[in-house]
Structure 1
Amino acid sequence: MERMGMVIGVKPEKLAEYKRLHAAVWPEVLDMIRACNITNYTIFLREPENLLFGYWEYVGTDFEADMARMNEHEPTRRWWQLTDPCQEPLASRAAGEQWAAMENVFHTD
């Protein structure tokens, strides 16, 4: 299992919409997240900075293949069309990233 954290901004004027969307995530999207070997997916909000911190545990063996599968899933792509305009990616993110990946520097069980 691999723990993964990521961060992104949320536009202040889109915060209510982002929360509303995530209060009722489409079942097809949740099913695809699970099918792609992601568990314990959590998103935290930090205000007033309007930062979203995402965390999940990847329990598969081929992350790139699972992410490609998710990227091809039409309901998930439509979901992202709703959520992406709410987000404000960090300028420091790596090329190709929407959410900026974070380094895991500490964990305790």
Structure 2
Amino acid sequence: MHRLALKMKLHAGKAAEYKRRHDELWDDVKQLLKDSTVSDYSIFLDEETHILFATLKVKDLDKFAQIPSHPVIKRWWEYMADIMETNSDNSPVSMDLKDVFYLA
């Protein structure tokens, strides 16, 4: 199992909308994540800086790496683009974080 962490950035004033959209996460996005071996996926918000911090576990990194090319994720990214920092393809601007400590 691979533990991953990343950070993204929300536009100021969009925290409630971000939470609402994730509370109503599309079933096909949930299924894609599960099919891509993602589990224990959490996203936290630093309300002071608008930084989103995500942690997740992935069994198969090859399956996980295919997520960005899936049409449902492209639609999700388009849906989220108005409330967070994104790249030109609407994918979230994100930075992988280095694992420096883990206590099981």
TM bucket (normalised to shorter chain) is: 0.7 to 0.9
Gaps of 5+ in 2: none
How many residue pairs get matched? Answer: 100
Structure 1 residue 16: deviation in Å?
A: 2.4
Segments of 4+ moved more than 3 angstroms: none
**Alignment pair present for 1:84 and 2:74:** no
Q: Give the TM-score, by structure 1 length.
A: 0.81
Q: What is the identity percentage for the equivalent residue pairs of Structure 1 and Structure 2?
A: 25
RMSD (Å) for aligned C-alpha atoms: 1.9
Unaligned runs of 5+ in 1: 90-95
Match of 2:101 in 1: 106
Deviations 1:53-106 (A, max 9, x none): 00001111xx244322x22322221111112332226xxxxxx98310000000
Structure with bigger helix share is 1
TM-score by length of 2: 0.84
User: CA 1:106/1:53 → structure 2, altered by over 3 Å: closer, same or farther?
Assistant: same
- Superposed, 1:22-101 pairs within 5 Å as 22-60=22-60, 63-68=61-66, 70-88=67-85, 98-101=93-96
Q: What does residue 92 of structure 1 align with?
A: none
How far residue 33 of structure 1 moved from its aligned partner, in angstroms, is 0.4
Give the drift of 1:20. Answer: 1.2
**Residues 1:14 and 2:11 are matched in the alignment:** no
AA at the equivalent of 1:2: H
2: distance between equivalents of 1:98 and 1:3? Answer: 20
Counterpart contact for 2:11–2:84, Cα < 8 Å: yes
